[in-house]
Amino acid sequence: MILTVTLNTSIDKLYLLEKIRPETVMRVKEVHNTAGGKGLNVSRVAAKLGEKVIAMGFTGGFNGKYLESLVDSPLIRCAFTHVDAETRSCINCWDLSDGRSTEYLEPGAPVSPADTARFLADFDRELPAADVVSVSGSIPEGVPEDIYCSLIRRCRQAGVPVLIDTSGSRLASAVKEKPSFIKPNEDEILQLLGRSVSGPEEAACALTELHEGGIPYAVLSLGAEGALLACSEGVFRGKPPKLIPRNTVGCGDSMTAGFAVGFARSLPVMETFRMALAVSAASALSLFTGDFDPADYERLHPQVSIHRVL
C-alpha cells in the first residue's frame, strides 16, 4: 500500500485548442478534467501499475468534492482532510498546431493552523497501513514550511520509507531529515550542495555526495536521456529507448510512482529503477498527465538499458 500526500490539490483542466492566438477569443476544442497535484499524478500511475493507494491532502468546497469524484480508480482510496477553502484549479492550454502548452497555476487558497493539525492527525491514523509514503509538490498558504520535515520524522518513527519530491526551501529542509528518496533537478543540486553540475559525470558525483550524506536513493532525471540513480550499490544510468514524446508534463511524477511501487513490493533496486524509467517513458506518450497506456509500458520495459557509472 502506498500513501500519497498532495497538500496543494487542484482540478487540472486541459484545454485543447487548434491554435493559440493571444489577445483573441479562442474556442476550446476539447476539455479534460483530472484530479491534479503532483501526488495525485503519482497515485494514478501507481494504481495503474496495480498498487493500492491511499490519497491524502486537502480538499475543500465544491471543487474539492468534484476532485474526489474524479479519483475513479478502485485501487485509490480517498482520505483527504476537508477544509472550508475552495480547492484551486490549474489550466493547461495545449496548442494542437505545434504541441506547445501554456499553463496557468492558481496558488491555492489558504488553510488554517487547525486544518493543518487535523491533516497531521489524519496522517497519523492512516500511516500504519502504508508500506511506502510519497510526498509531492507545493503547499498552500497557511501550512508551515517545515511540514514535510514533520512527515519524514513520523515516517521514520513508524519505519516506513518516504519519498520526497518538492523544491526550494522545502526540499532543502527535508533533505536534512534524510528521507528515503529525493529527485532534485540540476538547479536544486546547486541549492543543496552549493555548486552546479555540468554533464552526467559531475551529476553522478553530486548524487553520490547526497547519498553518502544519508539519502538512500538520490535520482536526477536527464529527460529523454533517462536518469541517474545513486544508492548503496553504486551510481547507475538508465535510459529508455528513443521515442517521440506527446506530453512530458508529469513524467517525473510517473518516475516517482515507479520507485514507490518498487519499494512497496520490495523489488531489487535495478528492477525498481527499470520500472520507474519505463513508466516515465510510457507516460510521455500519453496526452494526459499522470497516465500511460499499459501496452506502451510493457513494450518499453525490456528496452530500458541500465549500466553502472560509479
| Residue range 147-169, pLDDT digits in tens | 999 999 999 999 999 999 999 99
Q: What structural domains does the chain harbor? A: 2-308 (3.40.1190.20)
Q: Per residue in 95-154, pLDDT tens?
A: 999 989 899 999 988 999 999 999 999 999 999 999 999 999 999 999 999 999 999 999
Find residue 217's DSSP bridge partners.
181
Q: Which three cell numbers mark 132?
A: 511506502
pTM, rounded to two decimals: 0.96
Rounded to the nearest 10 degrees, how much is the dihedral formed by the CA atoms of 15, 21, 26, 30?
Answer: -20
Q: Per residue in 78-96, pLDDT tens?
A: 999 999 999 999 999 999 9
Q: How many CB atoms lie within 10 A of CB 54?
A: 20
